[in-house]
């Protein structure tokens, strides 16, 4: 057995038995000829793999901040009441309840996955209904929610890039009129930037992979859309999956790769079958397979690799580790993936949206793309808007659109917006004073997540949710990220209890800088961002949260909390 098959094998066990037993681990370790602890290390890294038996129905309820705004607590309580199980425990034979980070449904929260089928817009009575149906023996597949997101906005007809008519195979056929180098030149010229959040030049990536003389190369489509608040990749897959596949084929043609792999996050496995059917259709039409469109020697295959629940695997280097059947730890960066990537071969890792844009650019021409947007970032961008807005959903906007426009009456219709989180927890928060900032390379970039919070929301509550998320999702290898995020989270807790002083606020900034400076990968380098930015951007708010200094230099100390435990033990032992 090949190590790259490990995740698939583990999924087989997980689906069949509901958990990965000691025996399964031991079988796999023999097959791979490694010690059992090595398999255990992989199993325990991904949160959809369990080492203890789970019930027949596993329920993963999203605990992201958007879910929280939309009624997470009530829904959670109802799930517990109806199933008689508690969250985070393994429950009974029928049900196991777990919380999970954002599942890409921020426009339909609260949302849960029940046996990996989506259930969205949950309310307590809807939950009661669902559990009743399950208890009646109905199959969850038959009554799961329709999750297709509404496309609320596209620029005027002549400016829409992604959400326009699609004809299967059109971009590939158009692309094959050019030489591979010409394709790369076109992408290069279009200045297309990676849409996953890093905004790395797509043309540059393709070029450096092409330059590599190795005969074995890979194109990976990064569909591990894990940044809380983003769901644009899911929208593309549900509306126009063909575009992504064509983007991969073109990338293969341009760079000389023969194999493409879609790394699909486990949360999205409910449309895996549809995607596979479509890939089959491409094979039938000779858009995949051998000698594509009768071009001699142009072979390209695509398969889907399922992730298993890990945010950090959205980073290209960790994603490659994960595909190779290891823990999704971002390795020490010695080379770029285009030199030594998957199986140490040159690899291009592109985001779903980037690949969709690539095929549109080939189809429509780079000049069309260049005629829109700003100088540094031409064209359009998909934004997923959620939170306190009337119209949550997908927006295709021209680069250079301001935050105010996005929030305005023509678009999302936000009510009393106060705090906007651009690019998710690892991005940047924006206060009303900055609403005129524009989404583009020259000003503020947006990876896709755009969460809006109104005046009634508590900023520390939002940030606490973010810090809990990073604490949970840190891979655990490097000290500053593993320990630092935990420590910062403790600080936020302290502030929520009203015990923080100006010193604490200053320390958050200083400590955040240390984590950013010394962390190994992007997770730790960006996790303290929102916290640090918010302190300067929402000064008035923080001033109210800080305890005033006192004459005796006593630190704010919660004596009541410190003796509460003793008091209650004494009460317990008294008759």
Partner 1 sequence: MKEVSFKIDGRDCKAEKGQNLIEAAKQNGIFIPTLCYFKHLNPLGSCRVCTVKQNGKPIAGCTVSIAEGMDIEVNTPELLDNRKAILEMMFVEGNHFCPSCEKSGDCQMQNLGYETGIRYTRFPHLFVDRIVDARPERIVVNQNRCIKCKRCIEEVITNDGFKVFNFTNRGNQTLVSVDYEQEAKLSEAQAEHAMHICPTGSILVKGKTFGKPFGDRQFDYAHEGQNIPLTDIKKQVKSNKRKMRVATTSLAGCFGCHMSLLDVDLGLLDLIELVEFNKSPLTDIKKFTERCDIGLIEGGCCNTDNIEVLREFRKNCDILVSVGECAIWGGLPAIRNTVPLEDCLKEAYLDSLTSEEGETVIPHHEDIPKILNKVYSNHEVVKIDYHIPGCPPNANHIWNVVKNLLFEEEFSISYPEFKYD
Binding interface with partner 1 (CB under 8 A): 34-38, 40-41, 44-45, 310, 327, 332-334, 471-480, 482-487, 490, 507, 511, 514, 517-520, 552-555, 557, 559, 561-567, 569-570, 573
**165 vs 573, beta carbon nearer partner 1:** 573
**457 vs 482, beta carbon nearer partner 1:** 482
**136 vs 573, beta carbon nearer partner 1:** 573
Could you tell me if 378 and 369 are in contact, meaning their C-beta atoms sit under 8 angstroms apart?
Answer: yes
> Which one, of 107, 131, 136, 133, lies nearest residue 120 by Cα?
107
Q: Smallest gap, in angstroms, from Cβ of residue 84 to partner 1?
A: 27
Give the torsion sign (CA, 547, 501, 485, 532).
positive
**446 vs 488, beta carbon nearer partner 1:** 488
Q: Smallest gap, in angstroms, from Cβ of residue 106 to partner 1?
A: 23
**410 vs 572, beta carbon nearer partner 1:** 572
Q: Smallest gap, in angstroms, from Cβ of residue 205 to partner 1?
A: 20
Tokens 């039409």 sit on residue: 285
Q: How far apart are CA 98 and CA 432, in angstroms?
A: 36
**487 vs 546, beta carbon nearer partner 1:** 487
Could you tell me if 262 and 300 are in contact, meaning their C-beta atoms sit under 8 angstroms apart?
Answer: no
Give the torsion sign (CA, 449, 484, 496, 564).
positive
For residue 376, count other CB atoms closer than 10 A to its CB: 14
Half-sphere CA count of 511, side-chain side, radius 13 A: 20
Q: How far apart are CA 106 and CA 65, in angstroms?
A: 9
Residue 301, beta-bridge partner list: 259
**265 vs 327, beta carbon nearer partner 1:** 327
**167 vs 560, beta carbon nearer partner 1:** 560
Residue 397, beta-bridge partner list: 381
For residue 431, count other CB atoms closer than 10 A to its CB: 19
Give the torsion sign (CA, 164, 168, 174, 176).
positive
Q: Smallest gap, in angstroms, from Cβ of residue 571 to partner 1?
A: 10
**195 vs 488, beta carbon nearer partner 1:** 488
**149 vs 317, beta carbon nearer partner 1:** 317
Could you tell me if 513 and 310 are in contact, meaning their C-beta atoms sit under 8 angstroms apart?
Answer: no
Residue 57, beta-bridge partner list: 95
**DSSP one-letter string for 520-536:** SSHHHHHTTHHHHHHHH
Q: Smallest gap, in angstroms, from Cβ of residue 551 to partner 1?
A: 9
Q: Smallest gap, in angstroms, from Cβ of residue 496 to partner 1?
A: 15
**416 vs 569, beta carbon nearer partner 1:** 569
Q: Smallest gap, in angstroms, from Cβ of residue 389 to partner 1?
A: 32
Q: How far apart are CA 127 and CA 141, in angstroms?
A: 15
Beta strands 417-422 and 428-430: pairing type?
A: antiparallel
**70 vs 520, beta carbon nearer partner 1:** 520
Could you tell me if 300 and 288 are in contact, meaning their C-beta atoms sit under 8 angstroms apart?
Answer: yes
Q: Smallest gap, in angstroms, from Cβ of residue 485 to partner 1?
A: 8
Q: Smallest gap, in angstroms, from Cβ of residue 36 to partner 1?
A: 6
Q: Smallest gap, in angstroms, from Cβ of residue 469 to partner 1?
A: 10
Could you tell me if 316 and 331 are in contact, meaning their C-beta atoms sit under 8 angstroms apart?
Answer: no
Apex 28 CA angle, 23 and 31, nearest 5: 130
Burial (CB < 10 A; 0-12, 13-18, 19+), residue 73, is: exposed
- The single-letter DSSP state of residue 349 is E
Q: Smallest gap, in angstroms, from Cβ of residue 522 to partner 1?
A: 13
**DSSP one-letter string for 45-64:** TSTT--SS---SEEEEEE-S
455's CB contacts (< 8 A; 6+ apart) are 416, 418
Two tokens at 78?
């109802």
- C-alpha R_g of the chain: 25
Q: Smallest gap, in angstroms, from Cβ of residue 503 to partner 1?
A: 9
């Amino acid at each position: 057995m090949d190590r790259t098959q490990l995740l698939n094998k583990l999924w087989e066990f997980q689906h069949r038995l509901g958990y990965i037993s000691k025996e399964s681990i031991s079988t796999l370790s023999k097959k791979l000829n490694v010690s059992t602890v090595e398999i255990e290390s992989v199993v325990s890294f991904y949160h959809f793999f369990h080492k203890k038996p789970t019930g027949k129905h596993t329920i993963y309820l999203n605990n992201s901040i958007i879910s929280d705004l939309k009624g997470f607590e009530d829904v959670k309580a109802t799930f517990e009441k109806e199933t008689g199980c508690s969250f985070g425990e393994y429950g009974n034979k029928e049900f196991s309840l777990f919380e999970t980070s954002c599942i890409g449904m921020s426009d339909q929260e609260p949302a849960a996955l029940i046996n990996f089928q989506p259930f969205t817009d949950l309310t307590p009575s809807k939950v009661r209904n669902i559990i009743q149906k399950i208890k009646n023996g109905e199959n969850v597949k038959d009554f799961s929610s329709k999750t297709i997101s509404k496309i609320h906005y596209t620029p005027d007809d002549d400016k829409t890039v992604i959400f326009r008519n699609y004809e299967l195979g059109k971009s590939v056929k158009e692309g094959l009129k050019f030489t591979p180098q010409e394709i790369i030149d076109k992408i290069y010229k279009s200045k297309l930037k990676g849409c996953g959040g890093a905004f790395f030049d797509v043309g540059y990536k393709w070029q450096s992979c092409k330059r590599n003389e190795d005969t074995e190369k890979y194109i990976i489509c990064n569909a591990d859309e894990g940044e809380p608040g983003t769901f644009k990749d899911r929208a593309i897959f549900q509306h126009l999956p063909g575009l992504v596949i064509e983007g991969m084929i073109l990338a293969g043609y341009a760079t000389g790769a023969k194999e493409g792999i879609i790394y699909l996050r486990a949360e999205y496995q409910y449309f895996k079958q549809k995607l596979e059917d479509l890939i089959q259709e491409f094979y039938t039409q000779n858009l995949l397979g051998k000698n594509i469109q009768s071009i001699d020697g142009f072979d390209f295959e695509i398969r889907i690799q399922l992730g298993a629940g890990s945010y950090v695997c959205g980073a290209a280097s960790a994603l490659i580790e994960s595909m190779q059947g290891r823990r999704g730890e971002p390795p020490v960066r010695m080379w770029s993936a285009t030199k030594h990537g998957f199986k140490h071969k040159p690899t291009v890792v592109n985001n779903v949206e980037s690949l969709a844009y690539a095929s549109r650019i080939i189809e429509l021409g780079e000049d069309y793309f260049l005629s829109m947007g700003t100088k540094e970032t031409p064209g359009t961008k998909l934004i997923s808007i959620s939170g306190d807005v009337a119209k949550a959903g997908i927006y295709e906007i021209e680069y250079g659109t301001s935050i105010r426009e996005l929030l305005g009456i023509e678009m999302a219709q936000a009510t009393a917006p106060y705090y906007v989180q651009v690019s998710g927890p690892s991005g940047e928060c924006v206060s009303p004073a900055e609403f005129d900032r524009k989404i583009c390379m020259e000003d503020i970039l947006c990876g896709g997540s755009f969460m809006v919070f109104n005046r009634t929301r508590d900023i520390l509550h939002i940030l606490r949710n973010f810090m809990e998320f990073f604490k949970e999702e840190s891979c655990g290898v490097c000290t500053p990220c593993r320990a630092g995020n935990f420590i910062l989270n403790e600080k936020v807790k302290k502030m929520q209890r009203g015990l923080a002083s100006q010193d604490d606020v200053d320390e958050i900034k200083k400590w955040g800088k240390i984590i950013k400076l010394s962390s190994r990968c992007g997770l730790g380098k960006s996790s303290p961002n929102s916290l640090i930015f918010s302190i300067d951007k929402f000064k008035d708010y923080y001033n109210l949260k800080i305890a005033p200094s006192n004459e005796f230099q006593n630190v704010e100390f919660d004596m009541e909390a410190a003796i509460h435990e003793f008091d209650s033990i004494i009460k317990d032992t008294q008759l």
